[in-house]
Structure 1
Amino acid sequence: MHSIRKERAVKGLPAAIAILLICSSFLIQGASTHIPPSFSQRGAIYYVATYGNDSNPGTAAQPWRTIQHAANVMVAGDTVFVRGGIYHEQVFTTRSGNVADGYITFSAYPGESVILDGTGVASGNTGFFLSHSYIKLTGMEICNWSDTGMWISNAGHIEISDCEVHHVFYGIGAADGTHDFTLNCVEIHHFDLYGFDASPSGGAPCYNGTFNECVAHTGNDPAQNVDGFALGHGTQHDFVFNRCEVYDVYDGFDISARNTTLSRCSAHDCWSGGYKIWQDNITIVNSLGYHNGITNVEVDWDGEPGTVTLQNCNFVDAQVYNIWYENATGDSLHMYNCILAGGDNIGLAFEEMDVSNYCGDYNIFHNDNEYRVIAVAYTDEFSMDDVANGGWANYSGQDLHSLVSYHPESELFTNLSLWDLHLIGGSMAIDAGTQVNAPSIDYDGIPRPQGNGYDIGAYEYAMGPPLMVHVDDDFNASTPGW
């Protein structure tokens, strides 16, 4: 993928603005009747326009009329640029690209708006159907489909970038062994049952999926169990979410795929839970969960032993449980450098009468109900004073260096009422964390540490002018903190 770098001031920059700046870099090119100068290709270049004709040769001067005609013609290495306009048609791939010749690419012409609209389409109920491999789809808006905006089946090496999917029953679905796929700067909203879902759907499991700067929000029906991002049941594995956001759905990230990392993500204002975790080897790092209806984090038992790691996260204000942990035999919860604050009922809830499978330290605890900061099987309960005085550490053997905040508005956050969870100057979280397994950058991309030690929570406090960092669309999931 062509590398596009941007420099940005990260301290205090809202996530939505950062996403807009990064994603818009793909489209700010300027329209032309020629191949965009930044574009490199191996095969033929074709064009589609609303004023074209499928009997034309598909050139810039004589474009085709339908995207489907381009799909029928293109072979490995070919690209079609779709000129701006509304296209009332269903599109399905007909052949694959390959390593030697390159991807088959469907791209909106840079700077122009391409809408694949299902209104009035009688021959299909899914906007874009991908059942072949080595396919790229860039810069398209897909809307008003009675079933799925985009369906990916039994395909590999798929790249979807700068697309918007909305007002559909299902957003984007991947199934039947789909693997090695990437979504970059994709926004999915106003859907009935899910924004994105990967599941076997009766076939092989999906695996090796990466999501960069993606957003899922606004379920259509609050009475439905609507997921923002869902990785369905089975033996699916190896997914990465980088700087993704979800809100205004039932469950934000519903993760039932092993070996999954969520880095610098945000789940907020969900009707039920922000993060629902089912599988083994799930890591949530440098992430935010706040103002969710029931839980910020829910760790469920899937019948097999597993480990969930929470590292340098902020979990703030859940109505029932800040973190709910089923803690069945064999499951483990590891939590370090995290802030738990503002829970209306219970802060950290252990469902079973056992804490031997919990490992944690260098955390900060607060709870609006000061007497239920931690609850074990709803029987052994620990108040803020109990935690501060070492009662919880003596009981569990954990959190020996953890702290208690009695006033998070003045001791922790810049502006809790506005959900600005950056650390305030003089915060007890500054330099109070452990460097063990700490990420190398924070939620904003600021390098850690900034002071004499690592800060607790998703944000590293940085004095002075905003730090400029590089943001690269060639994301590296192996880099700590990504």
Structure 2
Amino acid sequence: MNVQRVALLLTIALFFACLPGTAAVPQGAGIYVSTAGSDTSGDGSLGNPFRTIGHALTVAAPGDTIVLRGAPVLANNVYSEPIRIQQPNITIRSQTGEWAIIQCPVDDENIAQCVRFDVDSDGSRLQRVEVIGGYYYGIKLETKWDWGGPDRSGALNILLEDVKVHDTGNAAIKVTPGCDDLTVRRAELYNTGLTVRPDSAEGIDNVNGDRMIVQDSYIHDTSATGLYFKGGATDCVVERTRIEHTGGAGILVGFDTSPEYFDLTVNPEYYESIRGVIRNNIIRDTQWAGIGLYAAKDAQIWNNTLIDTAQTAHSPIYFGIPFQDWEPEAGRPPSVNPILKNNLVYQSRGLPTECVYIRYTDELGGLSALSGMPAMDYNLYFHAGGNCRFTDRRPTSSLDHGTFSQWQTHLGGESHSQTSAPQLTADGHLLASSPAIDAGVCTGAPTDDCDGDRRPQGAACDIGADEFASGAVFDHFIYLPLVHRKSP
């Protein structure tokens, strides 16, 4: 990244800080809301706004935009009310150059979520707004899955852009079955599980929501996993996102879901995830796996950097087993056809040495985490206190805490992978001396990196989330147009 490019990006970031996001403002009426307004005498205009978002929603029509006045113009920029969006194509956003907060109590079970997208809210948007609280969730997408009718869809094509969601009772964002095509862009999610699920609350909890895209976001300080998509979710993508300081895993491709949430018409085998893509993410300081695969079919794991993950359980790259409530009809299939290339694993001295682990259990007649061998190559594994170890617990394997050389033989692959010290900056970017530079493969790899820079910059693609650019002044994420957080 040269100096001119840095200056251009800074100019763009500052410019977008004064806009409602990168997407064009939807056409339709602009309905204004202010903490200094009135639902009685106001008319929803800029000069005479309503007082509450809830009232504005009662007069809004599909295609309308509800504009929230906020700081620094208003001293009080907090709207203390739960929000329920019940019509399609409704946008709620902060006024240009301002910042509004929607806040709900975290200890009132009558307010299950702070912002709710109902089943008829297709195409709606929440942009440049902060959401705090909710007994269960900060934001929830609702579904008709269990209504008993033939239509089991939920809220579709929802956009959450430039939002902050935090201090929630359970997960920050909940996606229920059939809520397809959610996009989460430039979001910051943190401090989950304050009350209801203090030890099991994710940044994003997606159960069978297809084609979810999470990009350019920052998920941190979650009581459990940063995010997962499970229950048969198809074609989900997580890219250019930093996940750190989690009580569970970083990203789980699939996990463990009750059988009633699977769509057996398209997924009769009960795969937890189908065609999930994880690329260009930096994941660090997790208690469980950096990236875990559970009953994942055709997963693609490309150019991720995992730093000090799996500190108390699993391994940085982990193949796990779903039990699906131990129900007799459930499938519990192994992961199949995964591709894991150009990934970088770094473990500090004192952390467990297992870098890849494939699980097996004798329960339920014997269950394997993986079918066949994974397509793994061009990866870098390093442990500062010794050597990375590799285990395959399946009955056909004798590899237990094996060396990298033994792993290569066992796998019949990883011939282009290495165990060199990766030479990283504190935030996971490559130093000029890194052996990961030009050591990856470009065929199949993403064409950009975690910062949006082009791949490749040199003779070949680099290993890890960052593509090193000679002469770069700095290289780090910009998570939100309004807030730049420099990693410690």
Smaller-chain TM-score bracket = 0.7 to 0.9
1:230 partner SS = strand
CA distance in 2, matches of 1:175, 1:228: 17
1:194 partner SS = coil
2:374 partner SS = strand
* Matched ranges for 1:336-415 at <5 A: 336-342=377-383, 346-352=388-394, 354=396, 376-378=398-400, 381-382=402-403, 387=405, 396-405=411-420, 408=421, 412-415=422-425
Query: With structure 1 as the length reference, what TM-score do the two structures score?
Result: 0.74
CA distance in 1, matches of 2:11, 2:112: 33
CA distance in 2, matches of 1:392, 1:214: 34
CA distance in 2, matches of 1:120, 1:231: 25
Query: With structure 2 as the length reference, what TM-score do the two structures score?
Result: 0.73
Deviation string, structure 1 residues 61-104 (Cα, Å, up to 9, x no partner): 111111011111111111110111111111111222xxxxxx21
CA distance in 2, matches of 1:176, 1:64: 35
1:124 partner SS = coil
What is the percentage of aligned positions where both structures have the same residue? 23
Match of 1:323 in 2: 356
Instruction: Give the CA deviation at 1:400.
Output: 3.6
Deviation string, structure 1 residues 345-394 (Cα, Å, up to 9, x no partner): 74332222547xxxxxxxxxxxxxxxxxxxx5317x336xxx3xxx6655
The verdict on how the C-alpha distance between 1:22 and 1:167 changes in structure 2, with shifts beyond 3 A counting, is: farther
Instruction: Give the CA deviation at 1:316.
Output: 1.0
Q: Is the 8 A contact 2:280 2:304 kept in 1?
A: yes
Question: Is 1:314 the counterpart of 2:344 in the alignment?
Answer: yes
* Matched ranges for 1:261-340 at <5 A: 261-278=277-294, 279-292=296-309, 293=311, 294=313, 295-302=315-322, 303-305=332-334, 306-317=336-347, 319-326=352-359, 328=369, 330-340=371-381
* Structure 2: 5+ residue stretches without partners: 71-76, 143-153, 194-200, 255-272, 323-331, 360-367, 481-488
Q: Is the 8 A contact 2:290 2:317 kept in 1?
A: yes
Instruction: Give the CA deviation at 1:118.
Output: 1.5
CA distance in 2, matches of 1:468, 1:421: 7
Match of 1:191 in 2: 192
* Matched ranges for 1:209-224 at <5 A: 209-220=212-223
Deviation string, structure 1 residues 28-72 (Cα, Å, up to 9, x no partner): 249xxxxx9x96443211100111111221111111111011111
Deviation string, structure 1 residues 432-467 (Cα, Å, up to 9, x no partner): 444443443344444344444444444444434569
The verdict on how the C-alpha distance between 1:118 and 1:299 changes in structure 2, with shifts beyond 3 A counting, is: same
CA distance in 1, matches of 2:87, 2:102: 20
What amino acid sits opposite 1:422 in the alignment? L
What amino acid sits opposite 2:54 in the alignment? Q
1:227 partner SS = coil
What amino acid sits opposite 1:463 in the alignment? S
CA distance in 1, matches of 2:131, 2:403: 50
What amino acid sits opposite 2:338 in the alignment? V
Which residue, out of 107, 110, 122, partners 1:133? 122
CA distance in 1, matches of 2:213, 2:403: 39
Instruction: Give the CA deviation at 1:330.
Output: 2.3
Q: Which structure is higher in strand share?
A: 1
The verdict on how the C-alpha distance between 1:134 and 1:453 changes in structure 2, with shifts beyond 3 A counting, is: closer
Question: Is 1:87 the counterpart of 2:76 in the alignment?
Answer: no
Match of 1:14 in 2: none
2:251 partner SS = strand
Q: Is the 8 A contact 2:83 2:116 kept in 1?
A: yes
Match of 2:365 in 1: none
CA distance in 2, matches of 1:125, 1:107: 22
* Matched ranges for 1:219-238 at <5 A: 219-220=222-223, 226-232=224-230, 234-238=231-235
Q: How many residues align?
A: 400
Question: Is 1:45 the counterpart of 2:30 in the alignment?
Answer: yes
Instruction: Give the CA deviation at 1:22.
Output: 7.5
Q: Which moved more, 1:338-347 or 1:169-178?
A: 338-347
Match of 1:260 in 2: 276
2:58 partner SS = helix
User: What RMSD in Å do the two structures reach over aligned CA positions?
Assistant: 3.3
2:55 partner SS = helix
* Matched ranges for 1:116-195 at <5 A: 116-119=102-105, 124-131=111-118, 132-153=121-142, 154-170=154-170, 171-192=172-193, 193-195=201-203
* Structure 1: 5+ residue stretches without partners: 1-6, 11-17, 31-35, 97-102, 200-204, 221-225, 356-375, 474-482
Q: Is the 8 A contact 1:147 1:169 kept in 2?
A: yes
Q: Is the 8 A contact 2:379 2:418 kept in 1?
A: no
CA distance in 1, matches of 2:87, 2:408: 60
Q: Is the 8 A contact 1:143 1:149 kept in 2?
A: yes
Instruction: Give the CA deviation at 1:218.
Output: 0.9
CA distance in 1, matches of 2:83, 2:409: 62
Instruction: Give the CA deviation at 1:296.
Output: 1.3
CA distance in 2, matches of 1:217, 1:247: 5
1:61 partner SS = coil
Instruction: Give the CA deviation at 1:190.
Output: 0.6
CA distance in 2, matches of 1:460, 1:330: 32
Q: Is the 8 A contact 1:88 1:120 kept in 2?
A: no
Q: Which moved more, 1:277-286 or 1:450-459?
A: 450-459
1:63 partner SS = coil
Q: Is the 8 A contact 1:8 1:468 kept in 2?
A: no
Q: Is the 8 A contact 2:356 2:389 kept in 1?
A: yes
The verdict on how the C-alpha distance between 1:112 and 1:452 changes in structure 2, with shifts beyond 3 A counting, is: closer
Deviation string, structure 1 residues 371-426 (Cα, Å, up to 9, x no partner): xxxxx5317x336xxx3xxx665555323444453xx1xxx3145xx35450433x
2:178 partner SS = coil
